[in-house]
């Protein structure tokens, strides 16, 4: 079987760190080209993604790893060119854009895959199985990290559409919507927005659910400089305690700990992409992005200290 000729559009840190190793390790893919404004990349390199999709012979699939802002426009052209598309998270800047791409991909019979890397831990599957069919007594999410460590000097995160602390927080939402055994709604959201910024540096969210008997809370905070944690703790009403740590890579059920022993997030993403391409199917989970939008629809804004520059 001839490998699927694949390109990366928007070659940057996440492409180099995660996509390139995952693609090159999979014999079903052939990584033939990439584009980035700087011109750096792998395979045949382009500074113009339009030129790439026009000129690379036999191209079949693309991974779009730009920031979310321009992703709709790129993905639209790729879908119309008959290319299977993998989108980094969050798939687009707005909900209307991803809904439109879903329709276009179906009409064009290409595979569209809105990826959520944090869902691709085997431990997340195991947590979902442990919670299936249960009622929930308590949910406590803490997604606390040091923004200066992970986004040093980056200004786009504070701009309109930059997501702020929802940029990491949407990873927690993507795990939560995968493991929660029922419907889950934002009931309130306190958004702590630094003076002069457009996006929150922290958010305190309360959820509600017909399947819950107790409080469902989520704290996202980019101001934690020591003891960072990415933890989702769920107690069921019949006494099971499920705790995902390290962003989902470690699971404890009633104190019994295990680590993710799957292929890893990005290798599993590309395995899934192959399944979708083989079936001419798509996977477009909008639930995590929709929860962010719901936080903004219901949010209360509080002014926080200005960003230190």
Q: Where in 12-31 is the site for its own copies (CB under 8 A)?
A: none
Query: What is the C-alpha to C-alpha distance for residues 31 and 15, in angstroms, rounded to an integer?
Result: 12
Binding mask 248-277 for its own copies (x = CB under 8 A): ------------------------------
Q: Is 89 a catalytic residue?
A: yes
Smallest separation (angstroms) from its own copies to the CB of 4: 27
- For its own copies, the closer CB: 137 or 205: 205
- For its own copies, the closer CB: 188 or 259: 188
Q: Where in 96-135 is the site for its own copies (CB under 8 A)?
A: 96-97, 99-100
Smallest separation (angstroms) from its own copies to the CB of 96: 5
Q: Out of 40, 94, 108, 283, name the contact with its own copies by CB under 8 A.
A: 94
Q: Out of 81, 298, 304, 307, name the contact with its own copies by CB under 8 A.
A: 298
Residue indicated by tokens 């431990």: 123
- The residues, any chain, with a CB within 8 Å of residue 230's CB and separated by 6 or more, are 142, 143, 144, 145, 168, 171, 172, 245, 246, 247, 248
Smallest separation (angstroms) from its own copies to the CB of 210: 7
Residues in the chain: 309
Choose, from 89, 134, 149, 308, the residue flagged as catalytic.
89
Smallest separation (angstroms) from its own copies to the CB of 173: 11
**Concatenated DSSP letters for 183-196?**
--EEEEEEEEEETT
Query: What is the C-alpha to C-alpha distance for residues 5 and 30, in angstroms, rounded to an integer?
Result: 5
Q: Out of 11, 29, 49, 72, name the contact with its own copies by CB under 8 A.
A: 72
- For its own copies, the closer CB: 91 or 264: 91
- The residues, any chain, with a CB within 8 Å of residue 26's CB and separated by 6 or more, are 267, 270, 271, 274
Stretch that binds its own copies, among 31-39, 225-233, 234-242, 296-304 (CB under 8 A): 296-304
Smallest separation (angstroms) from its own copies to the CB of 100: 5
Smallest separation (angstroms) from its own copies to the CB of 296: 4
- For its own copies, the closer CB: 47 or 300: 300
* Residue of 131, 142, 141, 140 whose CA lies nearest to 236: 131
- For its own copies, the closer CB: 8 or 165: 165
Binding mask 164-193 for its own copies (x = CB under 8 A): -------------------xxxx-xx----
Sheet holding 202-208, edge to edge: 256-259, 250-253, 241-245, 229-236, 136-144, 216-221, 202-208, 185-194, 299-304
Query: What is the C-alpha to C-alpha distance for residues 48 and 43, in angstroms, rounded to an integer?
Result: 14
Token representation of residue 24: 């090159």
Rounded to whole angstroms, what are the CA distances from 229 to 102, 135, 247, 266?
A: 34, 26, 8, 21
Query: What is the C-alpha to C-alpha distance for residues 257 and 16, in angstroms, rounded to an integer?
Result: 31
Q: State the CB neighbour count (10 A cutoff) for residue 137.
A: 18
Query: What is the C-alpha to C-alpha distance for residues 65 and 110, in angstroms, rounded to an integer?
Result: 18
Q: Out of 47, 198, 225, 258, name the contact with its own copies by CB under 8 A.
A: 198
Binding site for its own copies (CB under 8 A): 72, 76, 93-97, 99-100, 160-161, 183-186, 188-189, 198, 210, 287, 290-294, 296-301
Catalytic sites, residue numbers = 89
């Amino acid at each position: 079987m001839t490998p699927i000729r694949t390109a990366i559009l928007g070659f940057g840190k996440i492409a180099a760190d995660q996509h390139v190793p995952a693609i090159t390790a999979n014999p079903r893919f052939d990584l033939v080209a990439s584009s980035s404004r700087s011109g750096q990349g792998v395979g045949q390199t382009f500074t113009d993604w339009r030129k790439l999709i026009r000129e690379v012979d036999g191209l079949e699939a693309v991974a779009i790893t730009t920031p979310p802002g321009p992703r709709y426009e790129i993905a639209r052209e790729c879908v119309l060119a008959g290319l299977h598309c993998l989108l980094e998270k969050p798939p687009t800047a707005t909900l209307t854009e991803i809904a439109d791409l879903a329709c276009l991909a179906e009409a064009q019979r290409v595979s569209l895959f809105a990826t959520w890397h944090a869902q691709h831990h085997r431990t997340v599957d195991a947590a979902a199985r442990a919670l299936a069919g249960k009622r929930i007594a308590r949910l406590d999410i803490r997604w606390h990290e040091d923004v200066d460590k992970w986004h040093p000097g980056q200004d786009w995160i504070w701009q309109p559409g930059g997501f702020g602390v929802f940029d990491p927080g949407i990873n927690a939402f993507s795990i939560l919507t995968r493991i929660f055994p029922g419907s889950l709604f934002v009931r309130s959201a306190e958004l702590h927005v630094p003076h002069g910024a457009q996006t929150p540096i922290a958010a305190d969210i309360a959820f509600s659910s017909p399947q819950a008997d107790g409080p469902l809370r989520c704290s996202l905070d980019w101001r934690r400089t020591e003891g960072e944690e990415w933890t989702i703790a769920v107690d069921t009403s019949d006494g099971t305690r499920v705790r995902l740590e390290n962003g989902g890579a470690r699971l404890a059920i009633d104190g019994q700990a295990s680590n993710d022993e799957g292929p890893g997030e990005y290798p599993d993403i590309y395995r899934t992409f192959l399944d979708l391409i083989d079936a001419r199917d798509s996977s477009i989970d909008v639930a995590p992005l929709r929860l962010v939008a719901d936080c903004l629809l219901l949010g209360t804004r509080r002014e926080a200290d200005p960003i230190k520059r």
